[in-house]
Every structure is written in structure tokens, then in C-alpha cells.
Structure 1
Amino acid sequence: MFNPEKLLGGLIRSTTRGSSAGSLLKGGAALGLLGVAIEAAEHYLGNQQQTTPPGSRPRSAPPVPPPPATASPASSPGTSPGPPPPPPGARPQAAPPDPPDPETAANKAVLLIRAMIAAANADGVIDQAERDRILKKLQSVDLSPEEQAFIVKELLSPSSLEDITRQVDHRQLAMQVYAVSLMAIRVDTDAEHHYMRTLAQELDLDEKTIRAIAEKVGSPHPPGPPSTKGE
């Protein structure tokens, strides 16, 4: 069974156990590819911790109370009056937010993994030796055959920058895509600098934002500010 959130979480745990983001980056694209940004880690691992334990029933909404009796207190001796109405100006209690859509969360996890691989391929150097090192690292992760096949397929045919950015529909996701991409590479070649500048531009991230992300993920080589479109 292919579970992209489990795959992303497994990659996080396998690479951050006993290591800092900076030490992962020293390994180059092969090890950096298996790291993810702190934002993504907190989001997906936090969701895993908040899920209902196996065997337990999900908490259902409380039953709707019956409508109040229409009889007046005079006709129903001993009947206590209903609860008082809310004070004037009081806001009604908001309904709880809807749970996240599993399909949407899975699609975002796939996008983050593809963004990492696309960034690692920024200078076209995911050769056979690097693929072998990545797959060897994956042996420590409990992946299903489908999950491992997905990684192999993406390594052989990485998504383009345009494929990645056209799927980003809000700012939080844009920051996550940029962060995982930055962690996938060392940004020490012209091609990688160009890739990250273009990515920031297409994601509409300003200089302040990209530098804050670089600092948070521990990147020693934050790329320069995005260039103006049309240059």
C-alpha cells in the first residue's frame, strides 16, 4: 500500500535521528534529499500523533438535545425553566473545524517529496551512483514495495520546477515547498542558485521570507533574492 504521508514521515525520522539539519546538508544531494524542512516535519508528524489510537472509536459529535417543551410553567407544575438566552451581543459558539481531507494531505506529501527530488536534480547530476546511495539509505526505512517504487520512479524522472509550482495554491504550502527544496541541495553551484531563485520567484516569496526559511532549516548557503519576472 502506498502511503505518502508515512513515506514522508519515515524519511524525516530516518534522517533527523541524532542529526541536525546542518549535518545532513554536508552529505550533499543524496543525504539532503532525505531531509525535510522543519515546517513539514512538524505538520505531518504532528498529524500522526493526533490521530485516533488503533482500536478506539473516533469521538462523535454530541447528540442534538430535544426541543424545549412548549407548555408554560403554569400548566406544568414543577417544570424548571430552560437555560437563559445568551446575553445581548454575545457571539454564538463556532462549530469545530472540519478534519483535514486525507486525499488533500496525501497529495501535499507527494508534492513535497517531488519538490525535494526536483531540487536535487537542479544541475542534472542525480546519476546512478547517487540513486544507489539514496536507495541504500532508504533500506533503513520501513517502506512498502509501492513506496520504494515511487521513489525510484521519481529519481529516474524528476518533476520540473513548473510541474511543482503549478500545484502550489497557498502561501503556507509555498513556504514548505521552498524549504524542502532548499534542504535537498547545498546551493553551491550556479545551476542550484538559479533554480532556487526561480523557485522563490514562481512561489512569490520575498527576500525576507526566503532568508527566514534558510535560517530555520540551517542552510549555510541561502540563495540570493528572487529576480524580477520578465528579466
Structure 2
Amino acid sequence: MFDPQKLLEQFLGGSHGSPAKDAKPAGGMSPDFMKGLATGGVAGGLAGILLGGKTSKKLAKGAVKLGGTAALAGLAYKAYESWRAAQQAPAAEAPPPMKDVTPKPEGTRFLPAASAERDGMSLAILRAMIAAAKADGHIDAEEHQRIFARLDELDLDTEEKAFVIDELRKPLDIDAVVKAAITPELAVEIYAASVLAIDPDDPAEQAYLAMLASRLKLEPGLRMAIEKETAKTVA
């Protein structure tokens, strides 16, 4: 079995391994990819290849500041805590804003201490991001070949490549994405990762997000908080 945490780090553009498993930076990359990775964030990660093949993708055109599993967990954690604070505050009193852009979620349900839990979380998020990339239905056979060719430039082992290719080839299955959200915290992370993976101006992808939020049973206020936080990561 490949290391899901390492692969998710590569998706999210993290230059270091996850805290639980000291993943090494990927090597053997093309100069263009290394240049993107040096800027940090999802646009420089593996997701930039999978989600940025089409010029319509917002992710490919913007400089995405988010990078690494811990940063994604921090984003989701802040959105969730901001929403909870708003729920608990008196109606006439707005809750004070959380100053830390990416609070440390280490040891929380957003970034569990147990490595096995992190593996499961990482797999769920990986599958959610790939599913979101397919939401507009525009990844055709030619685009698949282009993505597969660029995957060959990366330092991925056979199992990692097979996982990505298999997930790309599968029909879009929102049921599987929702089923993987076994905790409310993971549901928030899955939705945040999916928001990062779509073009906010594409009607088909917006429809997918609306359906995903509904199926994940995210309250409107929580969904808004997640989208607000993810929007801050795109310049």
C-alpha cells in the first residue's frame, strides 16, 4: 500500500512530509513543475497538474497560497470554529474574528495524531479532489493522456500512479465521496478540498458543490464559512 499522506502532500504542494510520516520532497520533476513548486501551494503541487490541464480551471490561473496537509486541516479548522462561534454568539453580537489564518489543528479531529486515521483522512481527501476535478465532465481521453504523461515526470511509485490513474478513470461517484466523510470534521475538509479543486465560475462545478454540501449535511452557514476561508487561499 502506498503512503496516502505523502501523496496528499504532493497534491497540496507541501514541501515537507506530514507530521506523522516524514515524507520527502518529490524529485525528478520538470523545470516548469519545480518552478511552480517553489512558489508553494496547490498550484505547484500534483493537483496543479490534475486540475490545471484545462484553461478554464481557476486553480491553474491563480496563485494558490495553501500548501500541505496541515494547512488544509488548519483552513477547515478555522472555518469550523468560526461557524461554531457564530452559532454560540448572541444574535445582536457578532463573534470576534479569529486572527490566525491557519490555526494549528494538530491532534484534533481535523489532523488526528494516529497515523492510521491520517491515512484514511488523506485517502478520502484525495478521492474528493479528483472527483471535483471531474465534476465539469471535461476530462476527456486526450486530457487523460496529457495528465498521464505529466505524471511520469514525478517521483511517484507504481502504486501511487495506479491510484491516481484509476481514480481519474472511474465515473464520477459522489456517493463514494460522501460515504468517506465519517466525521463532521472530515466532511468539512472534504468540502474545503473540493472547493479548491473547482472553478467557482463554472455552473456545472457550482452545481456539484451545492449537491456535495447538501449530501454532506453541511449547514448553510458552515458552507459559507468554508468557502470564505478557501477563497482567501486564491490570489
Distance 1:147 1:166 in 2: 22
State how far apart, in whole Å, the 1-side matches of 2:12 and 2:152 are: 14
For the aligned residues, what is the CA RMSD?
3.8
Q: Is it true that 1:7 corresponds to 2:7 in the alignment?
A: yes
1:40-79 → structure 2 map (5 Å cutoff) = 41-42=69-70
CA contact (8 A) 1:36 1:179 kept: no
Question: How far apart, in 1, do the equivalents of 2:219 and 2:67 lie?
Answer: 18
Give 3-state SS (helix, strand or coil) of 1:152's partner: helix
| TM-score (ref. length: structure 2) | 0.58
TM (norm. structure 1) is 0.59
2:157 is matched with 144
* Aligned positions, number: 169
Q: Per-residue displacement from partner, 1:143-185 (whole Å, max 9, x unpaired)?
A: 1111011101111114511111122122210111001111111
**Structure 1 residues without counterparts, runs of 5 or longer:** 47-95, 222-231
Letter in 1 for 2:39: G
Give 1:123 shift.
2.6
Deviations 1:124-148 (A, max 9, x none): 2211233234334434532111101
Alignment of 1:119-130 (within 5 A): 119-130=132-143
Q: Is the 8 A contact 1:111 1:164 kept in 2?
A: yes
Matches of 1:182 and 1:194, distance apart in 2: 12
1:210 aligns with 2:223: yes
Higher helix share: 2
Letter in 2 for 1:134: I
- 2:125 and 2:66 map into 1 onto residues whose CA distance is 12
Contact 2:5 2:119 in 1 (8 A): yes
CA distance in 1, matches of 2:37, 2:159: 23
Identity, in percent, stands at 31
In the alignment, structure 2 segments of 5+ residues that lack a partner are 14-32, 75-106
Counterparts of 2:147 and 2:200 in 1: how far apart (Å)?
Answer: 19
